[in-house]
Amino acid sequence: PSEKKLGAYIRPDIESLPAYVPGARPPAGVTMTKLSSNENPADPAPAVVDAVHRAASQINRYPDLYATNLTDAIAEHWKLTPENVAVGNGSVALLSHALTALAVMGDDVVYPWRSFEAYPIIAQAAGATSIQVPLREDASHDLAAMAAAVTERTRAVIVCNPNNPTGNLITRGELMDFIETIPPTVAVFVDEAYQEYVEDAECSFDLSELANYPNVLVFRTFSKAYGLAGLRVGYCLGDPRLIAAVRSTSTPFGVNAIAQAAAQVALGEQEVMRRQVKEAIEERERVVTELREAGWRIPPTSGNFFYLPLREHAAKLAAAGLDEGVLIRGYAGDGVRVTIGTAAENDRLLEFLAAREPNSS
Ligand code: PMP
């Protein structure tokens, strides 16, 4: 009977996994300004909303298993073939599928830290051991230390460019040099969730070199600059062999019909995306300049967010934000990440921070 009470056996490493974001509820009755998830605050383009409505009338049917139209459109956008493209239920799902295809229990995954909070979770879920390489003092990737951390057990190295949550950027030259130093049997994941905020339609990895780097996968998302976070759709680009491996570990029908239709239209609306990116960058510069003038330390950022490296004050500032209705992402003992919202939301944030001592809580 006692065994019955315990229930099913669960892998101990999974039972001890921390939550993606520790649950925190704002006090009742407080209106929230949500600047905690790096979303695009702009309304979706009318053509995208129309595509959602059209696709909605077909939801009694399964979606296209291979997301053929969206895959073709992404391939054409990047001047690649459909065999170079896998789409998924957000780029985080693709990162997870790719690791599952590469690593078994006892293998390593190397990535910078602090970085995207899903990396330790997907590594552990795949059974792999996380090798976290600390960022340098200026919050940039320590690429030399990351290359040095690769062993014969390493199956993948993740580069986050620009890095979430610090915002720092690796240039194409630095990235290509780094990839050269990684053994070809080790996959390099280039997570470019925020790359549209850096250069329109550019890619930090030189895609014309893809044939020479069959170990590289570039991850992109429709959740940020394209403004489709609620639909969950992302993609990865790479050599057909690696792409086939990602597809074979993916859950069937992972990208729903509405997401497929909307993402295809959003990709065609490049002008809308560029305009929204430009607005976000202008707002970011306004906010960051004002805060720096007030004495806040903020590392250079290339995303739709910025970072306050507050160390021991981080958790307190995030908690104060929650109490006052300004939702920002705190990383205890490390820093606070703030997403750029609408002008009004950013004003609310500035007001909240103006009432505090810079660089403390
Ligand atoms: N990579 C990075 C660096 C991110 O910050 C995020 C979202 N927070 C993702 C990937 C995942 O994006 P999505 O699953 O929405 O495509």
Count other C-beta atoms under 10 Å from residue 21's C-beta: 12
pLDDT tens over the chain, length 361 residues:
576 777 888 888 888 887 877 666 777 888 889 999 999 999 999 999 999 999 999 999 999 999 999 999 999 999 999 999 999 999 999 999 999 999 999 999 999 999 999 999 999 999 999 999 999 999 999 999 999 999 999 999 999 999 999 999 999 999 999 999 999 999 999 999 999 999 767 889 999 999 999 999 999 999 999 999 999 999 999 999 999 999 999 999 999 999 999 999 999 999 999 999 999 999 999 999 999 999 999 999 999 999 999 999 999 999 999 999 999 999 999 999 999 999 999 999 999 999 999 988 6
Do residues 224 and 310 share a domain? no
Cα Rg for the chain, rounded, in angstroms?
Answer: 21
Using CA atoms, how far apart are residues 129 and 149, in angstroms rounded to an integer?
12
Q: Return the pLDDT at 360.
A: 82
Please tell me the total count of domains within the chain. 2
Count other C-beta atoms under 10 Å from residue 359's C-beta: 15
We report the CATH number of the domain holding residue 234 as 3.40.640.10
Tokens of 286: 């306004």
Do residues 225 and 338 share a domain? no
Name the domain boundary from 269, 301, 326. Answer: 269
Ligand 1 centroid–CA 2 distance in Å is 41
Tokens of 11: 């892998």
Pocket test for ligand 1, best of 87, 113, 224 (most atoms within 8 A of CB): 224
Tokens of 154: 């390493």
CB-ligand 1 contact for 160 (6 Å cutoff): yes
Ligand 1 centroid–CA 5 distance in Å is 38
Do residues 255 and 337 share a domain? no
Name the domain boundary from 269, 297, 327. Answer: 269
Ligand 1 centroid–CA 96 distance in Å is 12
Do residues 296 and 236 share a domain? no
290 lies in some domain: yes
Name the domain boundary from 237, 269, 301. Answer: 269
Do residues 208 and 247 share a domain? yes
Do residues 197 and 104 share a domain? yes
Do residues 142 and 83 share a domain? yes
In the chain, which ranges are E strands?
33-34, 85-88, 108-113, 129-134, 154-160, 187-191, 216-221, 234-238, 305-308, 326-327, 329-331, 335-339
Tokens of 205: 């990895």
CB-ligand 1 contact for 221 (6 Å cutoff): yes
Do residues 54 and 132 share a domain? yes
359 lies in some domain: no
Do residues 254 and 288 share a domain? no
Do residues 39 and 162 share a domain? no
Residues spanned by the domain of 53: 46-269
We report the CATH number of the domain holding residue 319 as 3.90.1150.10
Q: What is the pTM of this model?
A: 0.96
Q: Return the pLDDT at 51.
A: 98
CB-ligand 1 contact for 190 (6 Å cutoff): no
361 lies in some domain: no
Interface predicted TM-score (ipTM) of this complex, two decimals = 0.99
Do residues 153 and 32 share a domain? no
327 lies in some domain: yes
Do residues 139 and 191 share a domain? yes
Ligand 1 centroid–CA 221 distance in Å is 7
360 lies in some domain: no
Long-range contacts of 245-248 (CB under 8 A, 24+ apart): 245/98, 245/101, 245/102, 246/86, 246/88, 246/94, 246/97, 246/98, 246/101, 246/217, 247/86, 247/97, 248/101
Q: Return the pLDDT at 49.
A: 97
Q: Torsion over CA of 121, 126, 132 and 135, rounded to 10 degrees? A: -60
149 lies in some domain: yes
